[in-house]
Amino acid sequence: MKVLIVNTFDRGGAANSCLRLHRALLESVTDSKVLLRDKTKRINQTIPFNQPPVQFSLIEKIQKKIVRILKQLKILKTNTSTPENKFIASRRNGLEMFSFPNSPFDITECKEYQDADIINLHWVANFLDYRTFFERNTKPVVWTLHDMNPFTGGEHYLEKYLGIDEEGFPQKRILSVEELQNSDKNQYIKKKALLNCTNLTIVAPSQWLANEAKKSELFKSREVVCIPYGLDSDIFAPRDKQYSRNLLNIPLDKKVILFVADSISNNRKGFVFLKKAFEQLEMQNVVLCAIGNKNSELESVNNIIELGPIYDERLMSIVYSAADVFVIPSLMDNLPNTVLESLMCGTPVIGFPVGGIVDMVQHGENGMLTKDISVKSLLESLQEFLKSDSVFDSSQIRINAVKKYDLKVQALEYKKIFETILANTNN
């Protein structure tokens, strides 16, 4: 069985999940390869996509040379922005990315595609061209969702909120006419393209995303299954708290709230809710510990320890082990890797009752879910956690996480699905 996994990048949350699965499949003696638009890491059996050179006629070559000379002489202006780019640039600050279903790449032309028995699409925005791929594809396809983009008109999350009101609740978002028009147009392109695909199975890591896919116009008639992400439980494991804090220079006598500070300006990540809740906490023995690049938003926060960006997974396990609690204030999310990582390290999690966070956090057992999405509810959960002696059993949190989210469990589920599809295809 030859599996070709397709992903745009080899960096980022979706890429990490995709590459972990790839490694686990290789370890389970599955012939797995990963096709990437942008390859920056040296990982076994990952291949950069090489677009075959476009052949131009003599007349086309002469025309291109004339245009190039006219632009150099500034007689002809360069059009630096397409309508798509202009639309994306016009979107309001804080929104998740928006991507269109067209690209100049034809995945079906590459040898890796042609050699594969089954295609496992992952996060393929700005890489997969819907029209050409589904028109020319002859293989069974399993599409692993990392967000909502495959079944929306371009949004990666259908964000209901944008901003925060004076009472600390999220403000309702109103879509612009242009957003609605682009969404309708892209939905039509995707729907038309998918008519050509008869052998398509959808995999969602969270029950929430699976339900959203089942309700969608594009995937409502497709088989949708839920397979959670997996982690290497040897890498993400509890470390000694005192050792971890000494290594990171974190005070031993403080309560430590850990959060990921990347994408602070991203409204969906909900940092403003955590910031406002922490400002109202008024507890001197508590510090906020931030992982991620420096951000001006953090300058006004007191009692904060900034660890900077951390890319080494074993070091990340030490960071989780140094914390008393991990807080994820996302307003909408799939199955955040950071929550899985924290639970694997035995560290409880506090979050809003949204998306895949509800799948992972069992209130009172391995963390806390707030009553609603608001600064007040998050503050109350933080106070309840910090003022009481820890009632969470770190070793039990770890045991339950390994049982459900070990990488071997995920790889086994994918192998089953691939084998079943291929058996049905060959019959």
Domain boundaries defined on the chain? 2-58+94-230+407-426, 241-405
What order of strands is seen across the sheet that includes strand 349-351? 304-308, 286-291, 255-260, 325-328, 349-351, 367-369
Q: What is the pLDDT of residue 221?
A: 94
The one-character DSSP state at 96 is P
Cα torsion 69, 75, 80, 82: sign: negative
> Hey, what's the torsion of the CAs at 332, 334, 338, 340, to 10 degrees?
130
Fold annotation for 241-405: Rossmann fold (3.40.50)
* Cα dihedral 207, 208, 214, 215 in deg (nearest 10): 160
For residues 202 and 226, is the Cβ–Cβ distance under 8 A?
Answer: no
Q: Which residue has the tokens 């995945």?
A: 107
Is the pTM higher than 0.85? The answer reads yes
Length of the chain: 427
Q: Do domains 2-58+94-230+407-426 and 241-405 have the same CATH topology?
A: yes
Do residues 281 and 382 make contact, with C-beta atoms less than 8 angstroms apart? yes
Query: What is the per-residue pLDDT for 295?
Result: 80
**The tokens of 223 are what?**
């088989």
Q: What is the pLDDT of residue 53?
A: 46
pLDDT at 66: 81
* Stretches in the chain below the pLDDT threshold 50: 53-54
Q: Quick count: other Cβ atoms within 10 Å of Cβ 268?
A: 21
Element (H, E) at 343: helix 337-344
Which residues lie closer than 8 Å to 145 by C-beta, 6 or more apart?
151, 202, 203, 204, 205, 209, 213, 334
Class of 2-58+94-230+407-426 in CATH: alpha beta
